Every structure is written in C-alpha cells, then in structure tokens.
Amino acid sequence: MSPRRSFLRGLGGALTVAAVAPGRLLADPREERLLSLVHTHTGERATVPYFADGTYLPTGLSRLNSFLRDHRTGDEHPIDPALLDILNDLRLATGAREPFQVISGYRSPHTNDRLRQGSGGVAKGSLHLEGRAIDVRLGGVRTSTLRDAALELQRGGVGYYRDSDFVHVDTGRVRRW
C-alpha cells in the first residue's frame, strides 16, 4: 500500500472515531489553536492564538475576552476556553478558511434584559451572561452546515436561526433548537 493511501486510510479511521466519540476534541491537543474573528457590530477583526504547547495562553484569552465583550456596554467577562475550542473544532470540521463572524459573545445583564424585552428568543439565564455562549456565522460555510457540524460535536447547546442567518453554540448541556 502506498504511503498516501495508508495516510488517507488512517485519516478516514480518525474521522470515524471522531464521529463515534462525541465530545472529543478534534484539534491535536499539542498543536497551537487560533481563532480568526470579525465582529459584525463593531467591524473589529482579530486573529488570536489562544493555546500552544499544551496550555491556554493568558494573553490570547485576554485578547479574546476583550474582543468578545458586550459591544453595547463595553463590559468584559472571561470566555470559557471550552467555547473557544468548539469554535476551533468547527473551523477544522468545516475546512473553513475565512473568519468567524461574531454577532454576540458575552452579554452583560443589562444588555440581556434589554434584548429580552424586545425579543422572545433571548433566555433570562442565557449562557451569554457567563461567557459560555456565542452567536456566529462562518465565512464561506452555510449556516445549516455550521449547525450540522456543531451538532455532530455533541459538546453543548446548538441553536439554528435560519431567518437571521446565524448559529448559537454554547458549553451547556447538549441540546438543540
């Protein structure tokens, strides 16, 4: 068997294991992880390494906390690194090369209450309040494809907002809507 064929066969086996073992990290636990993001409300862009050499990088996490702040109030909150890993794995699973388009990261209690008054789709105890949820699109990937990839990960909640063209992912219990 050629080395190429052997590699492809091994890759196919690895993908099968990932599909059969929900909740597993797709990224190599030793490799650098980075996220490329653009914020739809502020126009800010960032490409931030947040993990390397088997550890989360405090500087990268701090930059992402700032980027994913409540853009209405400027309030920041620590973002759950497991949420960042979900985004990284969604990028890997979809093969995307464009940045995530962030609609909403952290939400302050004030912003969440204001959004709840204007919409029936905002939860009182939203995981956005804890830095454990994000609403995104992924450039070059249909939101339905992004939703399906998130559901396959089996690592938290997945909400699909077809009319608004975004996907919610969080680090709460596995569920979908």
Instruction: Dump pLDDT digits (tens) for 114-162.
Output: 887 877 677 778 999 999 999 999 999 999 999 999 999 999 999 999 9
pLDDT at 8 over 60: no
Tokens representing 69 are 């702040």
Q: In the chain, which ranges are continuous DSSP H helix?
A: 3-20, 58-67, 81-94, 109-118, 143-153
Distance CA 162, CA 121 (A): 13
| Structural domain of 48 | 3-176
- This prediction has a pTM of 0.83
Distance CA 117, CA 41 (A): 20
DSSP-assigned beta bridge partners for residue 137: 101
Q: How many domains does the chain have?
A: 1
CATH number, residue 133 = 3.30.1380.10
Distance CA 85, CA 33 (A): 8
What is the reported pLDDT for 23? 61
What is the reported pLDDT for 29? 76
